[in-house]
Amino acid sequence: PDLVSKDVLVSAQTGSGKTVAFGIAMAPTIMGEAEKFDRAGAPLALIIAPTRELALQVMRELEWLFAETGARFGSCVGGMDARTERRTLDRGVHIVVGTPGRLRDHITRGALDLSELRCAILDEADEMLDLGFRDDLEFILDASPKVRRTLMFSA
């Protein structure tokens, strides 16, 4: 209970269930006591992953985990159609999963509004820094509210 509102840094081996762990950890932050989400608008949670493949895998796992809650998801990943992503964001989402470069692009173009963000998760945070995404990560986090929960995970 004491960790429900805390920022955390977790290091665990690949395949150990980090995605489910951060999904469970962020649920009280973005849902409170509710069993279902209200109408979707600006995202409440943002998960940043280093690669398209990991981002899409994370989104699939979270869609499964939050299936009964009515959560609406959006992905923002390089190599996919940015116009389709913008339309999804315009319709409203609760949770966005993306890669640093594409997320920064959507923020810069005004398509991704992080003003309601309650939780930011950096998946494979160490790998994103090793890949040179530090500036993008700082830009993204600076575009979100200062009062938010931040969860960082690495292998």
Q: Are 58 and 20 in contact (CB under 8 A)?
A: no
Q: What is the pLDDT of residue 2?
A: 60
Residues of the chain falling short of pLDDT 50: none
Copy the structure tokens of residue 78: 């390089």
> Mean pLDDT score of the chain, rounded to an integer?
93
d(CA 111, CA 108) in angstroms, rounded, equals 8
> Rounded distance, CA 90 to CA 109, Å?
13
- pTM of structure: 0.94
Instruction: Classify the C-alpha dihedral 78-80-81-87 as positive or negative.
Output: negative
CA–CA distances in Å: residue 128 to residues 35, 80, 81, 103, 114: 33, 20, 22, 13, 20
Distance of alpha carbon 19 from alpha carbon 23, whole angstroms: 6
Determine the Cα–Cα distance for residues 133 and 37; give it in Å rounded to an integer. 32
pLDDT in tens, 53-74: 999 999 999 999 999 999 999 9
* pLDDT tens, residue by residue, 92-113: 999 999 999 999 999 999 999 9
Looking at 1.10.10.10, 3.40.50.300, 3.40.50.720, 3.30.365.10, the CATH number of the domain 8-154 comes to 3.40.50.300
- The C-alpha atoms of residue 19 and residue 97 are separated, in whole angstroms, by 12
Q: Are 99 and 55 in contact (CB under 8 A)?
A: yes
Task: Give residue 3's pLDDT.
Answer: 60
